[in-house]
Structure 1
Amino acid sequence: MNKFIRYVQGMMLLLTLAASGCTQAGENESSGGNMRGYNHVPGQTVNRFSVNGYGGTLTGNICCVMLPDKWRPGLIAHVEWEVDPQTAPVFPGYSDRTKFLAWKKQVEGSYQRHSADVEIPQYDKSGGLDVHFLPCNKVKVYAGIDGFGSPLYPIKEPMNMKEPASCPK
């Protein structure tokens, strides 16, 4: 009988954890949601990014980022990201380990790290967080339920934007 009770308790714990997933509201009325990244600048790769310490990539939805259920003025997203400007020399292959390690060091040394504090625009209901990487190391975010490209989506910049010859300071 003792094994059966432990089994039932374990199953209840698993069901509770599974049901909570990324969307359980905490005591501060926040919920988790997926993060999505959009790179608007061809010719550079966003290797990875994080928002308020929650990590992401540009490979689709990443779970999870915590957001208040109700928007409030002054809501800020601290975004950190790493860019590969793709200025590396030709890949030497793996056969000569010394050449490969030198190439790898040069590639990783060209990565650029950036950060920005971005105000989160007003939303009625959180739909996760979209992070848009724009020319000149600018970033915009959106946390509502409208999808990128829909008429109500507030970020209107096109994909495939060109990096200008010089960026404003």
Structure 2
Amino acid sequence: MSYLSGSAVCQWLGGCLLVLLAGCSLGESKFLGGDLNGVNHTSAAINYFSVNGYGGPNISPHGYGGGMCCAMLPRQWQPGLKFKVEWETDPNPYARLKRKPSGYGPDEEAYAKHKANYQQHIAIVELPPYEDRLCALEVHFLPCNQVKVSTSCWRYPSPNSPIKEPLEMKELAVCPK
């Protein structure tokens, strides 16, 4: 990168910062921001997830992921608020894939075959009540592609967390409709 293009980038970033600071002086925002966390109660890996387009991390089977900034929610909670959760699962996250002849990375054909089993999911979820502050939006992925969310400042697995399901849940043979 030449000095001139680096300088242009710095000017652009400085301009963006000024716009953001100017926005702060316009009064109270209509939205609250909080961390976006996920808890995976299943044996599948969560390759990624998002809430209304705000991206979350990948989560290992029966694991946690989070601290991603930010989930934006309306400052005032109202009954009936809903949002869209999208996620992709890898039902066989511990598969041993054939390696490249060099030994570095999986064989492309083996990886493509594995990736063909990834599953995409969407759920529309009701937003639970929250006060005038948001610590985090915690998304729980349960068996049968069910989703629960919490806006509590008590993170799972705290006894004060509103979500009580165990971390290692078994998949049902037949999921309820």
Q: State the TM bucket, normalised to the shorter chain.
A: 0.7 to 0.9
Give the partner amino acid of 1:147: R
| 2:127 matched residue in structure 1 | 120
Q: Structure 2 length as normaliser, TM-score?
A: 0.75
| 1:7 matched residue in structure 2 | none
- Cα deviation digits, residues 26-71 of structure 1 (max 9, x gap): 8652022110010011x21011000001111134311111112221
The CA RMSD over aligned residues, in Å, is: 3.2
Kept after mapping to 2: 8 A contact 1:48/1:81: yes
CA deviation after TM superposition for structure 1 residue 157, in Å: 0.6
With 63-72 and 126-135 compared, the bigger mean Cα shift is at 63-72
1:32 matches 2:39: no
Amino-acid identity (%): 44
Matched residue SS, 1:60: strand
1:152 matches 2:160: yes
Q: Structure 1 length as normaliser, TM-score?
A: 0.78
| 1:45 matched residue in structure 2 | 45
**Pair 1:11–1:80, CA change in 2 (3 A):** closer
Structure 1 residue ranges without an equivalent (≥5):
1-9
Structure 2 residue ranges without an equivalent (≥5):
1-12, 60-64
Give the partner amino acid of 2:41: H
Query: For 1:164 and 1:109, how far apart are their aligned partners in 2?
Result: 23
Query: For 2:165 and 2:93, how far apart are their aligned partners in 1?
Result: 25
1:140 matches 2:128: no
Matched residue SS, 2:34: strand
Q: How many residues align?
A: 156
